[in-house]
Chains A and B, each alone.
Chain A
């Protein structure tokens, strides 16, 4: 599939009216537009499923939107598929496709938008939807060695063809399972890594590295060993319980996810948080980002076995964790957000201690960065290793620090401003090499920017209320988003008429970035695999939900 020219420079603002005009010019026969306000600016309702791939191609490659994700909802009368795209500077656009419940096949857009690959596979596994022309459906979330075909656990219970509970009892690992091996060389072999990670203490992930001895020729990830079905558990619960779930499926960015969830509920209830709460949210979100990046830097130093630097970075992270605990009562900032604002306020002593801790952390990070710059044995393992070139980053829609290190400078705090971020001065760092060292530099730069933001937010705090009442008593659906430490996270919530959660969809940045991980690993040596894994600093828990 040939692609029309791919813009590598940071996207300028995409003008919404111009976009509407362009779409009406090309696709007026199949699309009806409507403006919305629950987080999504523009909805394109497709009448003909066959025009989905060309429209996605148009939006992604010609207009230059980035891809958000796919949301599948099963209503009583039809399937509703929502493909989210971000028009930077303006807001979110979605393509809405409705399908009758009986017919379950949709044309796949993966050939046009490669980033949609995993979204479609997930929909197939969890809902049983078939995507035409997608060659790799199956064995994604529901591993083939355990689950029979057609389980579709996210479907409504009355319409499920396979009783999930029964299969749970009858489940036995399939003894004939074989991985799909692609390399055909007489001397090639497939080295398995995981799921119980052999590098010490690590998350459960599984990779099959096909190699002929030195270089990895193909890295095939098999994730979702930690899939807990958060989206399904949230269905039918109260908003306060779903808030707990949103915080706890990925603890290292828990504040960011709970922020996105809360902002979605706030949009449904049409409330706006008071300014003090918005500023406090900025402080806490940036504190979480600073601490997360310190942890990622620790991981990189550990993977290259530079023990003293790893210990020093671990000291910085632990001090930030202790500062968070002293400030908020929890080391990972659980239990602070609620729809409508924050659950508690802080006093000036707390802010003073926090600023001291943040200042110390930033100074230490600067010293660390300077010294790492001169440690050539460390740089040898990072420079030109795990390279993701900008074309590939664009192709696969990489987000967050990983994307920024490969020239893809998307940041929701800038492009689609939320929570008052437009009032602050900060830079979004960007590198072009795409190797491990570029990712490390981006992490350091973002940490410094986070500290700057915290200081600005504390300085501009005004006294006032920290929350407004926000009780959900009616139905509605909205999109909440946040720039989590790993990248852009989207939360889509639909409430039913009694205010309970009907559908909760969390599109996480790790889910997007894991898709691109194999590009970095292939054609580099085996020994670089843990280092590249550390420089990506992705979270399996966040991806798996």
Chain B
């Protein structure tokens, strides 16, 4: 049994230095598409036509990106005639679209944040990335972020998935069982806009049609560092990314 003790010690410290220092190890984030200037409006329209969920919005010669809808099919990255530019950052949490008067949680929550995770029908990727926040690389505990098993002691409700119909009532019950102050964070394209499932007979098309969402973390799935950025932003430890321009879409 003492083997495990030495084995763990011998493997050294693997934790990332984020948020103190930026993290740039290869593979830690898939990056995201950003607005790209093309030579003509026709090309930007052709680039936009590549996107199966209409997340690329042509405005003249530039193609803007609605990251909330992006499902990371990577068709605008490889194989298309007019690929978009992609960055390798991971801090892209924003305030939820349509949410006014958002305030972060008070300062006293900065080193002690308890999170309740509810899986409302997600594919497994977003949930798995959230679970990876507890692995030695990201180690959310060192930042004072804990995952609770019951909503009674939670400050933040983290929802993944497009809210399948069968999970609607349990999700509402979880929300009502949390004491104030509480914040809701929607993680992943499915939780924000419904993703590829959209709004249908079994999926509500995003958490905002069921609960008042505070923060949104786009991505499919967002890497653990993006989720960490979002959780740090809930208490104001990190600045949020600027809101996207309104592309005239509902929800």
Flag if B7 contacts A241 (CB, 8 Å).
no
Residue A97 CB within 8 A of the other chain: no
Binds A, one of B190-198, B210-218, B229-237: B190-198
> Which one, B78, B132, B165, B169, contacts A344 given CB within 8 A?
B78
Measured CB to CB, the closest approach of chain B to A307, in angstroms, equals 8
Residue A199 CB within 8 A of the other chain: yes
Q: How many A-B residue pairs have CB under 8 A?
A: 202
Contacting residues, chain A, for B203 (C-beta < 8 A): 228-229
Residue A92 CB within 8 A of the other chain: no
Binds B, one of A109-117, A325-333, A476-484: A325-333
Decide yes or no: A225 and B166 within 8 Å by CB, A311-B8, A315-B137 being known contacts. Answer: yes
> Which one, A153, A308, A542, contacts B202 given CB within 8 A?
A153
Residue B26 CB within 8 A of the other chain: yes
Flag if A249 contacts B123 (CB, 8 Å).
yes
A544 to B196, CA, bound (A): 16
A371 to B113, CA, bound (A): 35
For A321, the closest partner residue in chain B by CB is B27
A438-468 vs B, CB cutoff 8 Å, 1 = contact: the mask equals: 0000000000000000000000000000000
Residue B200 CB within 8 A of the other chain: yes
For A343, the closest partner residue in chain B by CB is B79
Flag if B170 contacts A230 (CB, 8 Å).
no
Flag if B128 contacts A143 (CB, 8 Å).
no
Residue A224 CB within 8 A of the other chain: yes
Contacting residues, chain A, for B28 (C-beta < 8 A): 322, 325
Residue B164 CB within 8 A of the other chain: yes
Flag if A371 contacts B119 (CB, 8 Å).
no
Flag if B30 contacts A331 (CB, 8 Å).
yes
Flag if A325 contacts B123 (CB, 8 Å).
no
> Which one, A230, A325, A329, contacts B197 given CB within 8 A?
A230
Decide yes or no: A228 and B202 within 8 Å by CB, A250-B123, A314-B132, A318-B135 being known contacts. Answer: yes
Residue B130 CB within 8 A of the other chain: yes
Flag if B122 contacts A332 (CB, 8 Å).
no
A354 to B245, CA, bound (A): 39
Flag if A229 contacts B201 (CB, 8 Å).
yes
> Which one, B52, B73, B128, B202, contacts A227 given CB within 8 A?
B202
Measured CB to CB, the closest approach of chain A to B79, in angstroms, equals 5
Decide yes or no: A343 and B11 within 8 Å by CB, A165-B201, A318-B132 being known contacts. Answer: no
Flag if B196 contacts A248 (CB, 8 Å).
yes
Binds B, one of A80-88, A201-209, A282-290: A201-209
Contacting residues, chain B, for A70 (C-beta < 8 A): none
Residue B153 CB within 8 A of the other chain: no
Contacting residues, chain A, for B3 (C-beta < 8 A): 371, 374-375
Flag if B200 contacts A229 (CB, 8 Å).
yes
Decide yes or no: A315 and B11 within 8 Å by CB, A228-B164, A249-B123, A250-B124 being known contacts. Answer: yes
Flag if A312 contacts B7 (CB, 8 Å).
yes
> Which one, B1, B123, B201, contacts A377 given CB within 8 A?
B1
Contacting residues, chain A, for B52 (C-beta < 8 A): 240-241, 244
A241 to B203, CA, bound (A): 17
Decide yes or no: A326 and B27 within 8 Å by CB, A143-B166, A228-B164 being known contacts. Answer: yes
A324 to B5, CA, bound (A): 30
Flag if A204 contacts B170 (CB, 8 Å).
yes
Residue B75 CB within 8 A of the other chain: yes
Contacting residues, chain A, for B71 (C-beta < 8 A): 244, 248
Residue B61 CB within 8 A of the other chain: no
A241 to B73, CA, bound (A): 10
Residues of B8-48 whose CB lies within 8 A of A: 8, 11, 14, 25-31
A225 to B3, CA, bound (A): 42
Which 9 pairs across A and B sit closest by C-beta, in order of nearness? A322-B27, A251-B125, A335-B74, A314-B135, A325-B27, A344-B78, A326-B27, A229-B202, A251-B123
Can you identify 8 A-B contacts, CB atoms within 8 angstroms?
Answer: A146-B169, A168-B201, A200-B117, A200-B149, A248-B196, A308-B7, A312-B11, A334-B74
Besides A204-B120, A229-B202, A230-B197, 6 other CB < 8 A contacts?
A: A146-B166, A225-B166, A227-B202, A308-B7, A334-B72, A371-B3
